[in-house]
Amino acid sequence: MATVMYIPEHRQNRFAMRAIINYCMQEYKTYDSKSKRKLVSGVNCDGANSFREFMATKKVYGKDNGFFFYHYAQSFSPKEKITPEQAHEIALEFAEKAWSGHEVLFATHCDREHIHSHFVINSVGFESGKKLRQSPSTLKHLRKLSDEICIAHGFSVLQPYQGGRKSMSSREYRTRLWGNSWKEKLAKDIGTAMSYSGSKDEFIRNMSILGYHMTWTNERKYLTFHCPNGKSCRDIKLQDEKYLKENIELELRQRELPAGAEQPTGWEDSRKLYEQHLKERAQSKTETQRIADSYSNVASEINSLAGAVSKIVDNDSKAPDERRKRIEAEENGSTLGSVLGLGIGIIANAINETPEQELDYEQEEYRTREEILQEIFGADDYDYDNYDDSEGDDEDEEFSMTL
């Protein structure tokens, strides 16, 4: 599956444009070890020299101001069996059809699990001198074009989003289909916590075990979840009404009330799981108590026996048989103490093996998954501060002299 994303670049000047171009052309990102080539090319320009050609075109038409460039990315799912060279061929065809009459640098990055191509487009047309204009429908058109090219090359495409309580952004929908959505992970963890919670306090504690904390006050209409990845999400952004504060509060209140006072909340299935966990916990505690009582009875009997023997055997007695009996009684009591200690440890572990501990295991799984998850779109940072303005001024003088 492939998708196209527009990457907003709010800094629009020659320095920012040069930073993005240099970022896209980095050797370690674009070198394909299989084809032994650097996957950097250009449409209507020499890719490696694209910055100078972009600036030359702007100088010719006197439009080296305002919007300098546009930045797009075409990204393939890690599940798609595509080589970097194939992705670069698709990027070439896409760039030629998408931005006819404009200079385009495109570079395919193969340093990550998902292969993706970046496109930097000169805002000024090299033939017409007109600036490229984008509209709300531009991205839809580009995605449609990308899908057509991918299908022609035998690769899969994403189906349009359908259903849900409210509209979902195309980026979020596409990320969810890849299984990499942090909001989807949040929703799943809320469901896990609800399955073990019978009150608001238990829910907050279980979410904390999973690595979340919440802004939950009577004054606020919405419930805000603060995630382990540093992001925050309001309940209204989770695409299902059951995650709303009012429905979570209603469900938790009903779990504390006698049966028969139930109102629909969307958490009916979770409630059944919670009730099942309660039964299992009660059974576990009953069995634990039975084992503890058994140990207690045996201990009581042995202690009584040891006490009786101690009374029978006089401390000052030097009779060998009596001394032997006393030592054996003491050793038996010591051995039983060790056994009882081991049993108590087992019982403690059984008591501690509660749903909360199971949630700890879930948290470890989450951390492991989180380490390998990557942002499919625009995940990298661009460092504009490493480019000296004085260098740009020298290049501008060179452009003026040349033209």
Q: How far apart are CA 125 and CA 104, in angstroms?
A: 10
Q: Which of 261, 277, 265, 283 is nearest to 206 (CA)?
A: 277
- Mean pLDDT across the stretch 372-390? 40
- Give the whole-number percent of the chain exceeding pLDDT 90: 34
Report pLDDT for 262: 73
User: Residue 165 gets which letter from DSSP?
Assistant: S
- Mean pLDDT across the stretch 270-285? 82
- Mean pLDDT across the stretch 264-276? 87
Buried b (16+ CB within 10 A) or exposed e, 150-183: beeeebeebeeeeeeeeebebbbbbbebbebbbb
Q: Which residues are paired to 5 by β-bridges? A: 73
Per-residue pLDDT tens digits for 138-188? 988 999 999 999 999 999 887 654 444 444 455 554 554 444 567 878 888
- Mean pLDDT across the stretch 202-215? 90
| Most confidently modeled range among 75-84, 307-316, 349-358 | 75-84
Query: Spelled out in words, what is the top-level CATH class assigned to the domain 2-159?
Result: alpha beta
Would the pLDDT of 400 be above 50? no
Report pLDDT for 54: 96
Mean pLDDT of the chain: 74
Confidence of residue 317 (pLDDT cuts 50, 70, 90): very low
* Cβ count within 10 A of residue 189: 23
Confidence of residue 320 (pLDDT cuts 50, 70, 90): low
Would the pLDDT of 64 be above 70? yes
**Which is more confidently placed, 112 or 232?**
232
Q: Which of 273, 284, 287, 285 is nearest to 206 (CA)?
A: 273
Alpha-helical runs (H) found in 153-244: 170-178, 182-194, 200-209
Confidence of residue 272 (pLDDT cuts 50, 70, 90): confident
- Mean pLDDT across the stretch 61-77? 92
Contact 11, 381 (CB under 8 A): no
Report pLDDT for 171: 52
How does strand 232-234 pair with strand 224-226?
A: antiparallel
Phi (first) and psi of residue 43, to 5 degrees: -110, 125
**Sheet of 232-234, strand order:** 213-215, 224-226, 232-234
Would the pLDDT of 119 be above 90? yes
Contact 191, 242 (CB under 8 A): no
Burial of 244 (0-12, 13-18, 19+ CB in 10 A): buried
CA separation, residue 222 to residues 238, 263, 386 (Å): 12, 20, 42
Per-residue pLDDT tens digits for 13-33? 999 999 999 999 999 999 998
Tell me the whole-structure pTM to 2 decimals. 0.48
Confidence of residue 296 (pLDDT cuts 50, 70, 90): low
Confidence of residue 298 (pLDDT cuts 50, 70, 90): low
Per-residue pLDDT tens digits for 75-103? 888 888 899 999 999 999 999 999 999 99
Would the pLDDT of 379 be above 50? no
Confidence of residue 254 (pLDDT cuts 50, 70, 90): confident
Report pLDDT for 393: 41
